[in-house]
Amino acid sequence: MTSSPAHGADDQAPLIAARDLHTWFELRQWGFLRVGAVRAVDGVEFSLAPGEAVAFVGESGCGKSSLARTLLGLHRPTRGEVRFAGRSLGELQGRALKAYRAEVGYVQQDPYGALPPFLDVRRILAEPLIVHGVRDRAERERRIRAALEEVRLSPAEAFLGQFPHMLSGGQQQRVVIARALILAPRLLIADEPVSMLDASVRVEILELLRRIQRERGLTLAFITHDLSTVRHYAERIFVMYAGRVVESAPVDDLLDHPQHPYTQALLAAIADPDAANATRLREVPAGEPPSLLHPPAACRFHPRCPHFMAGLCDVEDPPDFTPRRDHRSACWLHR
Amino acid sequence: MRDRTLLRVEGLELHYQTRQGAVHAVDGVSFDLHRQEALVVLGESGCGKSSLAKALMRLLPRNVHHTAGRVTLDGVDVTALPDERFRREVQWSRLALVMQASMNALNPVVRVGEQVAEPLRVLRGWPRGKALARAAEVFELVGVSTDFLARYPFELSGGMRQRAVLAMALVAEPALVILDEPTSALDVLTQASIMNALKRVKRELGTSFILITHDVATSSELGDRVALMYAGQLVEVADAARFFTEPAHPYSRMLMASVPRLRQRARPEAIPGEPPSLATPPGGCRYAERCPYRFARCAQDPPAFRLGERHRARCWLHADNAPAGGGA
């Protein structure tokens, strides 16, 4: 279906790659009667090089969090596969799967909900080390302190005995990041890491993630609904709509020359602070994102698209075209 | 000619009693709002902006420790009204509030149209048919198909429910609607189309708005004026054009610099430090601890200085200007 192998860097052995990835959630009535499936991830292809920072951008219900959980190995793909360092995730079991979990760090959306309220910071950070067999208490303590310093919770002693509720939102998110990093993963998945935080703290956390990513040479998959925050914190953007990647390109090229009508609509809807905004209406495509239970046929965006071509967009899935160098867009306009 | 000032707030205070002591959530807030004007109250979480909305609406929790100040709506001192009269004559009919996440507060077992029509039936005693017809008009104005009148809340998307709540606030045509983070839980496109709906309402019904938000970019979608709140106080009040281009208070400047922008390559800059606790606010300027321009005088609490027609900032850097009076 796609005209080229995958979205993303092709020249380097990828750290993680998804091929024809589908994660569907079956709906059953009375526990056994199949009545349909929610197609949360519906044919996603990409590959991420070691040390690359990318952003998956889309609105709620576009499947970006299901994609994250599929990459983490929490959902088993319905079809297609995820390969990490050359091995298919589906083959991993037992110890190999556990070892994979240590290779992938995960930063959740809501820092307060992500931290157990009855454990102090030391214990929260010790947990992954204990689970992954770091038996030496002194070694654990050393790594916990190093992790706190790395996320700029310094001096570490001041934070070790604190409980989550004693920390500000920004500090809590730093603890979540420290926990995600403590097993020295090669891939970090950050699902809306700043959406619950205040504007002045957001930048701090994004800068921190980017700095750590660079210093450690991590692959970072940053999942967000907010296109205005990605420019400085990722190198490549994947725009998702209704379970699929509709456009991908290097950050500046995507933000400055969006090709897919959905991306164009999304960018047009975002305001930069300007008093003139109050006097003009924004162009917004009619309708709402489709239900993933009954997505529209062919191009998922066609019912809302200003460039809809009857007999084509509603009949045949658009393949990935390359309208610009290193820039893919799944839209028949580029044919 | 009627006075163009719709709302005047002078020295408003709201303190809560907690185990940590009195929390000064709203601590001497003054501003005024003209007819058909939209004022943005901008601030980060915990700055007291939602408490300000509750104080204006007189929806006070039980742990209120102290209130003070005067709120004048249309020339009437509403703070002097007894609760019962305030409820009957002001709340919802003249002054409505759309609370944060209120789209989840719709009654799940009552059809949406009935709920939107309810204020008219309760406040004005309109018959059901007439109230429903008016509800349908307001539905269209805020961009909801009238087919949805007969639906239940669970049949509507989040964006549609938020519009229904908005319609409910607007249906009795209050002069002023307070919106507390009306779009913060919604997607980008839904957010933009709700802001479009608000702009249409403002133009067609001439409603005044107070938009409470932490989101600088969204605030510019409706605001004619901006009031920036920090640690229970308004640190700057200005016209939107002025605020977004040349803010006067150091916090305003730093906040603007921290906003990531889609169309600019400048890198946003974080504001170091954290806001002070509202239980133990510092004695002098509340922003001093994070302020790069701090000097000796900041140990004293700065008054609001008048920088121009309806522009004031609470900062000693502007001490060569005259202190502002009550409203701005």
Question: If pLDDT is split at 50, 70 and 90, which confidence band does A9 have?
Answer: very low
Contact list in A for residue B200 (CB cut-off 8 A) is: 281
User: Is residue B181 within 8 Å of residue B213, measured between CB atoms?
Assistant: yes
Distances (CA, A) of B251 to B33, B127, B248, B256, B267: 23, 51, 9, 8, 18
d(CA A124, CA A135): 16
pTM: 0.90
Binary contact (A269, B189; C-beta < 8 A): yes
Closest alpha carbon within chain A to B254: A200
Average pLDDT estimate for A197-206: 86
Residue A250 at interface with chain B, using a CB cutoff of 8 Å? no
Average pLDDT estimate for A165-190: 94
In degrees rounded to 5, what are phi and psi of residue B246?
-135, 70
Binary contact (A232, B243; C-beta < 8 A): no
Q: Which of A221, A185, A197 is nearest to A65 (CA)?
A: A221
Average pLDDT estimate for A185-213: 90
Of A60, A199, A267, the CB nearest to B262: A267
Binary contact (A198, B259; C-beta < 8 A): no
Residue B19 at interface with chain A, using a CB cutoff of 8 Å? no
Binary contact (A203, B270; C-beta < 8 A): yes
pLDDT score, position B324: 80
Low-confidence ranges of chain B (pLDDT < 70): 1-2, 325-328
Helix (H) or strand (E) segment spanning residue A40 = strand A33-48
Closest alpha carbon within chain A to B189: A269
Q: Which two tokens stand for residue A21?
A: 């990835």
Question: If pLDDT is split at 50, 70 and 90, which confidence band does A4 have?
Answer: very low
Residue B36 at interface with chain A, using a CB cutoff of 8 Å? no
How distant is the Cα of A229 from the closest Cα of chain B, in angstroms? 6
Contact list in B for residue A226 (CB cut-off 8 A) is: 188
Contact list in A for residue B256 (CB cut-off 8 A) is: 273
pLDDT score, position A7: 52
d(CA A92, CA A16): 14
Q: Which of A200, A225, A272, A291 to mutate to test the interface with B (most CBs of B within 10 A)?
A: A200
Q: Which of A196, A197, A232, A277 to mutate to test the interface with B (most CBs of B within 10 A)?
A: A277
pLDDT score, position A196: 79
pLDDT score, position A32: 80
CA A48 to chain centre: 12
Residues 120 to 139 of A: which have CB under 8 A from any B CB? none
For β-strands A104-107 and A87-88, DSSP reports them as unpaired
Question: If pLDDT is split at 50, 70 and 90, which confidence band does A28 have?
Answer: confident
pLDDT score, position B165: 94
Q: Which of A238, A252, A172, A96 is nearest to B263 (CA)?
A: A252
d(CA A229, CA A201): 13
Interface size A-B, in CB pairs within 8 Å, comes to 122
Average pLDDT estimate for A35-47: 92
Distances (CA, A) of A329 to A259, A312, A334: 6, 16, 8
Binary contact (A273, B193; C-beta < 8 A): no
pLDDT score, position B325: 66
Contact list in B for residue A200 (CB cut-off 8 A) is: 44, 254-255, 258, 270-271
- Contacts within 8 Å (CB) and 24+ apart, A148-154: A148/A121, A148/A178, A150/A178, A150/A181, A150/A212, A151/A175, A151/A177, A151/A178, A151/A181, A151/A208, A151/A212, A152/A208, A153/A121, A153/A178
| Model confidence pLDDT, tens digit, residues A253-304 | 999 999 999 999 999 999 999 999 999 999 999 888 888 999 999 999 999 9
Q: What sign has the CA pseudo-torsion B203, B204, B208, B210?
A: negative
d(CA A235, CA A126): 32
Residue A73 at interface with chain B, using a CB cutoff of 8 Å? no
Residue A270 at interface with chain B, using a CB cutoff of 8 Å? yes
pLDDT score, position A29: 83
Asked if residue B61 has a cis previous peptide bond (ω within 30° of 0), the answer is no
Checking if the pLDDT of A8 tops 70, the result is: no
Residue B256 at interface with chain A, using a CB cutoff of 8 Å? yes
Residue B185 at interface with chain A, using a CB cutoff of 8 Å? no
pLDDT score, position A6: 47
The secondary structure of chain B, three-state, reads CCCCEEEEEEEEEEEEEECCEEEEEEEEEEEEEECCCEEEEECCCCCCHHHHHHHHHCCCCCCEEEEEEEEEECCEEHHHCCHHHHHHHCECCCEEEECCCHHHCCCCCCCHHHHHHHHHHHHHCCCHHHHHHHHHHHHHHCCCCHHHHHCCHHHCCHHHHHHHHHHHHHCCCCCEEEEECCCCCCCHHHHHHHHHHHHHHHHHHCCEEEEEECCHHHHCCCCCEEEEEECCEEEEEEEHHHHHHCCCCHHHHHHHHHCCCCCCCCCCCCCCCCCCCCCCCCCCCCCHHHCCCCCHHHHCCCCCEEEECCEEECCHHHCCCCECCCCC
Q: Which of B100, B188, B225, B290 to mutate to test the interface with A (most CBs of A within 10 A)?
A: B188
Of A226, A265, A273, the CB nearest to B189: A265
Q: Which two tokens stand for residue A193?
A: 């890491």
Average pLDDT estimate for A158-176: 93
Q: Which of B226, B245, B262, B271 to mutate to test the interface with A (most CBs of A within 10 A)?
A: B262
How distant is the Cα of A45 from the closest Cα of chain B, in angstroms? 24
User: Is residue A285 within 8 Å of residue B204, measured between CB atoms?
Assistant: no
In degrees rounded to 5, what are phi and psi of residue B22?
-75, 130
Of A59, A170, A228, the CB nearest to B260: A228
pLDDT score, position A289: 87
Closest alpha carbon within chain B to A262: B189
pLDDT score, position A245: 96
- The interface pTM score, or ipTM, of the predicted complex is 0.87
d(CA A68, CA A76): 12
Question: If pLDDT is split at 50, 70 and 90, which confidence band does A1 have?
Answer: very low
Residues 204 to 223 of A: which have CB under 8 A from any B CB? 204, 207
Average pLDDT estimate for A318-330: 96
Q: Which of A216, A174, A165, A179 is nearest to A197 (CA)?
A: A174
Question: If pLDDT is split at 50, 70 and 90, which confidence band does A11 have?
Answer: low
d(CA B286, CA B236): 13
Beta-bridge mates of residue B27? B13
pLDDT score, position B240: 96
Residue with tokens 């007969």: B150
Contact list in B for residue A273 (CB cut-off 8 A) is: 216-217, 219-220, 244, 256, 259, 261
The conformational region for residue A158 under phi > 0 = left, psi -120 to 50 = alpha, else beta, is alpha
Average pLDDT estimate for A93-119: 90
What is the three-class DSSP state of A18? strand
Distances (CA, A) of A194 to A62, A65, A150, A197, A241: 19, 15, 18, 5, 21
Task: Give percent above pLDDT 90 in chain A.
Answer: 76
The secondary structure of A69-128, three-state, reads HHHCCCCCCCEEEEEECCEEHHHCCHHHHHHHHHHEEEECCCHHHHCCCCCCHHHHHHHH
Residue B301 at interface with chain A, using a CB cutoff of 8 Å? no
Q: Which of B263, B281, B137, B262 is nearest to B204 (CA)?
A: B137
| Model confidence pLDDT, tens digit, residues B221-276 | 999 999 999 999 999 999 999 999 999 999 999 999 999 899 888 899 989 888 88
Binary contact (A269, B191; C-beta < 8 A): yes
In degrees rounded to 5, what are phi and psi of residue A38?
-85, 115
User: Is residue B180 within 8 Å of residue B212, measured between CB atoms?
Assistant: yes
pLDDT score, position B61: 84
